[in-house]
Amino acid sequence: MKPDSVQFAGEVASIVSQIPAGYVLSYGDVAALASFPSHARLVGKILGNIGMSSSVPCHRVVNADGRPAPHWNMQRKLLEAEGVEFKPNGNVIMQKYRWNPPIAE
DNA sequence: AAGTTGACTTAAA
DNA sequence: ATTTAAGCCAACT
């Protein structure tokens, strides 16, 4: 099934909105939760689109390394405000702050 | 229509 | 540690 941008965006927005403060999720994870494990890149694009005009906490979504988006600077600061710690190299401590999502079906 | 790009991921050099 | 390669697939040019 092809991901309708509307549906996919809706799923992504819904999932990202459910991320509790102090936790992060990778694009791949969000994509997988949205039922499209191979559209991690699309998640980023969608967040870029909706994040500017929606209440979706797009700052809680990072890449698989736990590193904030390459285009957006304040993200790290926002995560720090959520209580997320960073490694000296600038990566989030994923093994500790990676959100454990509810078992979806 | 065809080629390029990218807020990705994993692996390898 | 960093860079490259390749897989990935919708959106963009």
Question: How many Cα atoms occupy the beta-carbon half-sphere of A57 within 13 Å?
Answer: 18
Check residues 15 to 44 of chain A and report those whose beta carbon is under 7 Å from nucleic acid strand B.
26-29, 40-44
- Write down the pTM of the prediction: 0.92
Q: Name the nucleotide with the smallest C1'–CA separation from A27.
A: B8
Strand C lies under 7 A from the Cβ of residue A76 = no
What pLDDT does residue A105 have? 62
Mean pLDDT, residues A58-83 taken together:
92
Which is more confident, A97 or A102? A97
* Predicted confidence (pLDDT) per residue in A9-66, tens digit: 999 999 999 999 999 999 999 999 999 999 999 999 999 999 888 899 999 999 999 9
pLDDT at A104 over 60: no
